[in-house]
Structure 1
Amino acid sequence: MKLDQVANSKNDEFFTPKYGVMPILKYIPDGAKVWCPFDTKDSLYVKMLEDKGCTVINTHIFNGEDFFELVNSEICDWCEYIVSNPPYSVKTEVLEKLFETEKPFAMLIGVVGLFESQKRFELFRDHEFEILYLNRRISFMKDYTSGKTALNPPFSSVYITSKILPDKVMFEEINKKEILVS
């Protein structure tokens, strides 16, 4: 069974804790216009980017806002950066659409099997991208109200970026003791 199918149980929603958002923030300029396409207003991506002075538009399928319909919309035209943690089960399709936009983006994605799909292999071969490795595995939250991590995937996550990092491969250390919610 494919790992994508295992991860795509009834819930493909993994909320990123503060320590998982922090490593990418230094690469997004203060005051940038950012679209967080898989995020509610409670997302720590949204809150932490706004705290950095960025103008953020968040959209989420739970609000009837489908990334695949919006990726060719005014929102995508407006933004300078696209940053989020996409649903694991559609990561290939998300990456495909993001590369088509030619916008700088950063997506937190599970690393296991990332380069083992022929379609993703071709996407990475044919497009400019960078990868930000983290020193620890990210534990995700079920919601933002508890502030506790509860979802511990059996794989590490990395940021796949395009036109954001200064080097093709970079490494960042995360501190899991950072406060989980703002």
Structure 2
Amino acid sequence: MTIYFPNKNDEWYTLPYAVEPILEFLKPNSNILCPFDTKDSEYVNVLMNAGHNVTYRHIKEGSDFFDLEDKDVLLFDYIISNPPYSLRKQVFNKLEELNKPFAMLVPLVSIALKPIREKLQDKQLLLFDKRIKFKSEEGMICKNPPSETAYICKNILPKQIIFKELKYT
């Protein structure tokens, strides 16, 4: 097992309003893997409430995303989450290796990372009209995130770039 220890700044939680925009692009009753999430994750909650079957994993519970093998993801239609910021490059390398449809909420500048940039023609972007706010482990909302975020997807969106209006709740 390749246990990694994320940077202390990697644990920022996605709020429900930032998960909801991806729902319209998913097949009903999909099997979804949320590889960086606990049972309390808004990804898990929003996706389950929308009728999807969700499996969640988190390094704090001993589940290392980087140990996943092709056979582990055969049952899943999608891999969806907000990955650890400090490990974005490695996450996208692993996603390419697993070759499953995915949606990862990451800073928009991530498109310049080599594993994304080199295969940009295969990627899709779900962009937003506002910056997404995140919540800390202590429950504090980051009111002015340092960068724009977007979903970088593969085989989920109907076209390469989609722009959505966020509805804060």
Q: What is the TM-score with the length of structure 2 in the denominator?
A: 0.89
Specify which of 93, 96, 112 is matched with residue 93 of structure 2. Answer: 96
1:18 aligns with 2:10: no
Equivalence map 1:1-182=2 (5 Å)? 10-70=8-68, 72=69, 74-112=71-109, 114-125=110-121, 128-143=122-137, 146=139, 149-150=141-142, 152-176=144-168, 178=169
Aligned residues: 164
Q: CA RMSD in A?
A: 1.9
Which stretches of structure 1, 4 residues or longer, exceed 6 Å deviation after superposition? Answer: none
Quote how far apart the aligned CAs of 1:115 are.
Answer: 3.3
Quote how far apart the aligned CAs of 1:11 are.
Answer: 2.6
Secondary structure of 1:96 counterpart: helix
Residues 87 and 151 of structure 1, relative CA distance in 2, 3 Å threshold: farther
Quote how far apart the aligned CAs of 1:122 are.
Answer: 1.5
Match of 1:5?
Answer: none
Taking the aligned partners of 1:62 and 1:9, their CA distance within structure 2 comes to 13
Q: What is the TM-score with the length of structure 1 in the denominator?
A: 0.83
The runs of 5 or more residues in structure 1 that have no matched partner are 1-7
Q: Deviations over 1:89-126 (max 9, x none)?
A: 111111111122221110001013x233444321425x
